Structure 1
């Protein structure tokens, strides 16, 4: 495992353990934080996740005759959206019905699925051997995405998240970390894993990371989008990422 991958994995673990300590307590500062983070996350989806998913879709055709369409991996991504959206929808429905006992039990299911999500994200990053400046920029976007996810889970049930949930999410990172170093799934399976987590990430970014109108600070959001996109696209152009 490269030093870059080691540092990224360590940072991701610390994010889940200390996420709420990193977020400013003042309302205006917090709104700007999430607006900037949301801008980076949206930019990451459009300048990296979607183009990479398209590239992976073009590659899977050589893995077998059963890949005859131009959208198989997109269906896998859609499955990721469906599963994660369904779980979050069920938890929130039970909360609105005033069934705290059942909602808390389902929240554990949500925590476990996000632990799996973290493991797959960490595996993908480690197995793709992202290095140097590329690791910094992709790691920054994914790290801020993890902060937003952790904060969203903390707001639902702070006691569960602080007592056990954050450790489950951190363990997910460690599991993916170890898998990335020891397991080789093969190009086809790695494409399928990437497609699944891409769908889940797109859902989490667009539905849960974009701040609602009354909590958004648009100038900061726009700065995040423009700055991250400009730098990343420039590096793609000069270094052929």
Structure 2
């Protein structure tokens, strides 16, 4: 997708609004639901600090991404002049690895859907919008490497997750724990990397993204 300068600013802000809505309207409520399920099925979680186990998993995801960002930044400072292509390659594959695992989780969760109804249509529309913004953001940062390799890994990973879901039966709280880890990671990623600065952002585009995506995710 190609934009003029004003259109690009508006789309970046719109994408940021979609991501913010996705994290707070869709992901965090699911973390709370998983915490309730874990407390019912794992009785030793009750009565002490581990009763917040799923939230701790989400926190560990946030800490993981922050640590990863700091290590990459430190590597750029030390080796940017010596081997910039190596650092860029490591960053690219780290991004693709993270989002491939994330897409596998989405493919796995599709196996929970048994009936084709309105909620499935809303799921399709909401996550199509979410994946389009992810796709644009990754291509913006990695350009040709994403076109040649990254997009195929991301597309194929959804089918891998679906196949795994057809042949395995993990406990619901285990899948929720993986989702909680991704939730913490996505929270920091969106706030730190996806939200545009005041000069680069467009308020109208951001608000349209937040409102439209919030309505879609709330209806799932």
TM-score range, shorter chain: 0.7 to 0.9
Per the alignment, residue 31 of structure 2 pairs with 53
May I ask how many residue pairs the two structures share in their alignment?
212
Q: Indicate how the Cα distance of structure 1 residues 92 and 114 shifts in structure 2: closer, same or farther if over 3 A, else same.
A: farther
SS of alignment partner, residue 170 of structure 2: coil
Per the alignment, residue 39 of structure 1 pairs with 17
Per the alignment, residue 218 of structure 1 pairs with 203
Q: Indicate how the Cα distance of structure 1 residues 181 and 47 shifts in structure 2: closer, same or farther if over 3 A, else same.
A: same
8 Å contact from structure 2 (residues 126, 217) kept in 1: no
Q: Does 1:95 align with 2:79?
A: no
Q: Indicate how the Cα distance of structure 1 residues 109 and 45 shifts in structure 2: closer, same or farther if over 3 A, else same.
A: closer
SS of alignment partner, residue 44 of structure 2: coil
Q: Indicate how the Cα distance of structure 1 residues 140 and 34 shifts in structure 2: closer, same or farther if over 3 A, else same.
A: farther
* Superposed displacement of residue 197, structure 1: 1.9
* Superposed displacement of residue 39, structure 1: 1.6
Indicate the structure whose relative CO is greater, using CA pairs within 8 Å and at least 6 residues apart.
2
Aligned-residue Cα RMSD (Å) equals 2.5
* Superposed displacement of residue 178, structure 1: 1.7
Q: Aligned match of 2:112 in 125, 128, 133?
A: 128
Q: Distance in 1 between matches of 2:74 and 2:136?
A: 20
Per the alignment, residue 113 of structure 1 pairs with 98
For structure 2, the residue ranges without an aligned partner over 5 or more in a row are: none
Describe the superposition over 1:21-78 as per-residue Cα deviations: whole angstroms up to 9, x where unpaired. xx33212112222222222221222222112211211121111233224311011112
- Which is further off, 77-86 or 53-62? 77-86
8 Å contact from structure 1 (residues 120, 176) kept in 2: yes
- Which is further off, 47-56 or 201-210? 201-210
Per the alignment, residue 177 of structure 1 pairs with 162
SS of alignment partner, residue 43 of structure 2: coil
Describe the superposition over 1:163-217 as per-residue Cα deviations: whole angstroms up to 9, x where unpaired. 2122222222221122233322122212212212222222232222222222211
TM-score, normalised on structure 2? Answer: 0.81
* Superposed displacement of residue 231, structure 1: 5.7
- Which is further off, 149-158 or 184-193? 149-158
TM-score, normalised on structure 1? Answer: 0.75
For structure 1, the residue ranges without an aligned partner over 5 or more in a row are: 1-22, 236-240
Q: Does 1:200 align with 2:185?
A: yes
Per the alignment, residue 137 of structure 2 pairs with 152
